[in-house]
């Protein structure tokens, strides 16, 4: 056999093995990752509520590691307004009250 033919066979075999490895990793993640709790990280930061105040000004309640932060945001700045130990109960459900 000539060296070029041998090199092509070796490259094809390597590509086949790498393809099988990639496919196996994908299938494992797809079918077993969620059941085993793998590949699922809890988000570090969650936006709990946000209110817009005209222009590009907002106030948001953000959960970071179990602490609730109230932050004010503009286009150029984010400021911590206060920290909350727990979320206050919801006072507005979105449905108007009937008299």
Distances (CA, A) of 77 to 30, 31, 58, 71, 84: 40, 43, 11, 10, 21
Mind listing the pLDDT tens digit for each residue in 4-53? 899 999 999 999 999 999 999 888 888 876 666 655 667 788 898 899 98
| Residue 98 confidence (pLDDT) | 44
Residues 73, 77, 81: CA angle, nearest 5 degrees: 55
The answer to whether 61 and 87 have CB atoms below 8 angstroms apart is: yes
| Residue 37 confidence (pLDDT) | 60
Residue 17's domain comprises 1-40
Q: What's the number of domains the chain is made of?
A: 2
Residue 1 has pLDDT above 70, yes or no: no
Residue 62 lies in a domain: yes
Q: Which of 51, 53, 91, 48 is nearest to 69 (CA)?
A: 48
Question: In this structure, are 55 and 31 located in the same domain?
Answer: no
Residue 98 lies in a domain: no
Query: pLDDT-derived band of residue 99, with 50, 70 and 90 as boundaries?
Result: very low
Residue 91 lies in a domain: no
Residue 34 lies in a domain: yes
| Residue 65 confidence (pLDDT) | 81
């Amino acid at each position: 056999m000539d060296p070029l033919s041998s090199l092509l066979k070796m490259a094809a075999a390597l590509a086949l093995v790498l393809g099988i490895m990639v496919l196996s990793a994908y299938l494992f993640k797809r079918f077993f990752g969620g059941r085993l709790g793998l590949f699922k990280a809890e988000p570090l930061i969650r936006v709990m509520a946000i209110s817009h105040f005209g222009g590009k000004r907002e106030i948001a309640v953000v959960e970071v590691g179990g602490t609730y932060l109230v932050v004010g945001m503009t286009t150029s700045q984010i400021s911590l307004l206060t920290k909350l130990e727990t979320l206050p109960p919801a006072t507005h459900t979105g449905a108007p009250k009937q008299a």
